[in-house]
Amino acid sequence: MVALPAGQLPATGTRSDYLTATVALEETGHFAAAKLSYKAMAERWPEEPLLLMGLGNTAYAVADYEGAQSAFSKALALDPHQAAAWNNLGYALAQRGCQPAALSAVRCAVALEPGEHYQESLQEIGQMTAKNGLLCATPRCPIDIHSTLHSK
């Protein structure tokens, strides 16, 4: 067996094998190495939202909030109905100081999957203080969040 540096994928092997190894890195707190691995996998398999979610989560874990925002946005471009991606995008935007966009993103998560989990995120992000007051664009929610939230 030849061990390659994190972020370098061998020419052979399956996405499942790489994902298993990368998740193990992530679960053991090796976020920087996992981020490199997710980035390499997302480049090899760009149509896979799960890999972009992993990239976003590990970017967030190492305080690369701009990288996290980018990864979650790309995941949403592939599948705009992922409530978890909207939720995580909200946290990345909030950490960047983009409060209005962050709240909008989490409202979309709530509209897509109503329930306490994303409601808690909405409350938490609503209580965060904007760090620098950036105005950031948010991808458009695939459903009308205003009518969905008001009908509850």
Tell me the CATH number at 33: 1.25.40.10
Residue 124 in domain: yes
Higher per-residue confidence, 93 vs 10? 93
The residue assigned the tokens 């990368």 is: 22
Question: pLDDT tens across 133-150, in order?
Answer: 666 887 799 998 765 555
Return the percentage of the chain with pLDDT > 90, whole number.
66
**Is 1 within a domain?**
no
Write down the pLDDT at residue 1.
Answer: 41
Q: Which residues contact 1 (CB under 8 A, 6 or more apart)?
A: none
Q: Is 37 part of a structural domain of the chain? A: yes
pLDDT attached to residue 148: 54
pLDDT of residue 115: 82
The owner of tokens 């969040």 is 145
Alpha carbon separation from 85 to 4, 12, 57 (Å, rounded): 30, 30, 10
3 occurs within a structural domain: no
Output Rg (C-alpha) for the chain, integer angstroms: 16
> Which of 115, 120, 116, 52 minimizes the C-alpha distance to 90?
120
Q: What is the pLDDT of residues 20-74, one digit of tens each?
A: 999 999 999 999 999 999 999 999 999 999 999 999 999 999 999 999 999 999 9
In a domain, 132, yes or no: yes
How many separate domains does the chain show? 1
Whether residue 8 is contained in a domain is answered as: no
Q: Is residue 4 assigned to a domain?
A: no
* Mean pLDDT value of segment 105-127: 92
Cα–Cα distance between 79 and 77 in angstroms, integer?
6
Q: Residue 36 sits in which domain range?
A: 15-150
pLDDT at 10: 60
Q: Confirm whether 49 is domain-assigned.
A: yes
